[in-house]
Amino acid sequence: MRQPPEFLFVDINQHCNLKCKHCMYWTRKEVALPGHISVARRGEIIREFAQLNSRGTVVICGGESLLNPERYFPVTRQCQALGLRCFSVINGTKVTDEATAEQMILEGPSEITVSLNSHRPEVHDQTRGQVGSYDLAVGAIRLLLAARDRLGVRKPVYAMAVVCRQNYRELDAFYRFVLQDLKADKLKLNFLQPTFGPVNWAADDRFYRDNIITDCEELVGILGACDRKYGLKLNPEWIRVVRGYHQSVQVNDDALQGWRGKGTQEAICNSYERNIMVDLCGEARLCFSNGFPGMQLKRTGHLAKFWFGSDRLRRKMAQCRQYCGISHSVRRISATLRPPAASAGETRAA
């Protein structure tokens, strides 16, 4: 019998206040369309997910999701009430004072991650497309950690980087900054994928071509050195997959093609075995790609119907080799070795 889904990813918005080079969501304007589901309907979907898996995790997605707090906090508060875990990645631009930081600690997700691409301001600002975004991201982490200590609440606060040619050689100093200076709980690594968002996919992906890591063995050596130095407990199988992902792009020689590329030499994603993604219009999918069919969740019961009735789709998805398989949200292999008492969701979030 198929197990229930582990993660429910829910879109809060699809716009952003930064101009990240690897993402084009910032080109969208926030438009409330008639087809967008209401806060109440999103709540019904989350409630049905909790009925399927009372120990599941809701992941808040955007754009920059905190641009819409009227949608964001109803999700986090509902997850608290239902006993679900809730994860969220933010860019830090909206956590600028103690009051907001305290609200995030008390009412916000059970795990907070702030996007941070480097310990050097110029690298973060350049990749995120806005001068001053580094100061906001670092400031948000410091505010969240201070609020956590002040309130006496145990809640993970992480940093997460998009790792690419501009920052991978400095991972040692980056880990030292995040773990020893900021004193965040973890630095997560999310490797560069082809540029995503509402763009013309027939266009050449120059940013991906110019920033994908080409020296796979140097990257693996750096990861190993950081693992030993900082006690990261990196999963050797994950490191093998990271090497294979970057090798595939080089062997295929198709980085400029972006999403039109041939993809990885082996399947490295199993999103379809554990994830449901629900977009702003209430359509459910088994991954973020619209290349596979979804199902409109019109009423209670449709989430379960979609999940348990999609085995034929899963067999097709098992053949997918797209480069997004390296994403921390969908990859088959956890980045860190599983602690004895850890749950599947905790290891997947590594």
* pLDDT reported for residue 201: 55
- Average the pLDDT over 268-280 and give the result: 97
Q: Can you give the length of the chain in residues? A: 350
Architecture per CATH, domain 7-202+269-348, reads as Alpha-Beta Barrel (3.20)
> What confidence tens digit (pLDDT) does each residue in 205-263 have?
999 999 999 999 999 999 999 999 999 999 999 999 999 999 999 999 999 999 999 99
> What confidence tens digit (pLDDT) does each residue in 151-195 have?
999 999 999 999 999 999 999 999 999 999 999 999 999 999 999
* pLDDT reported for residue 157: 98
Task: Record the pTM.
Answer: 0.94
- Average the pLDDT over 83-100 and give the result: 98
What is d(CA 166, CA 169) in angstroms, rounded to the nearest whole number? 8
Is the pLDDT at 348 greater than 50? The verdict is: no
What is d(CA 124, CA 133) in angstroms, rounded to the nearest whole number? 7
Is the pLDDT at 34 greater than 90? The verdict is: no
What is d(CA 191, CA 197) in angstroms, rounded to the nearest whole number? 17
* pLDDT reported for residue 199: 55
Is the pLDDT at 345 greater than 70? The verdict is: no
Tell me what percent of the residues of the chain surpass a pLDDT of 90: 89
What is d(CA 127, CA 123) in angstroms, rounded to the nearest whole number? 6
- Average the pLDDT over 300-306 and give the result: 97
* pLDDT reported for residue 198: 64
Crossing angle of helices 236-252 and 216-230, rounded to 10°? 160
> What confidence tens digit (pLDDT) does each residue in 37-58 have?
999 999 999 999 999 999 999 9
Domain borders along the chain are: 7-202+269-348
- Average the pLDDT over 2-10 and give the result: 97
What is d(CA 154, CA 105) in angstroms, rounded to the nearest whole number? 9
The overall average pLDDT reported for the chain is: 94
Buried/exposed 15-26: b ≥16 CB within 10 Å, e otherwise: bbebebbbbbbb
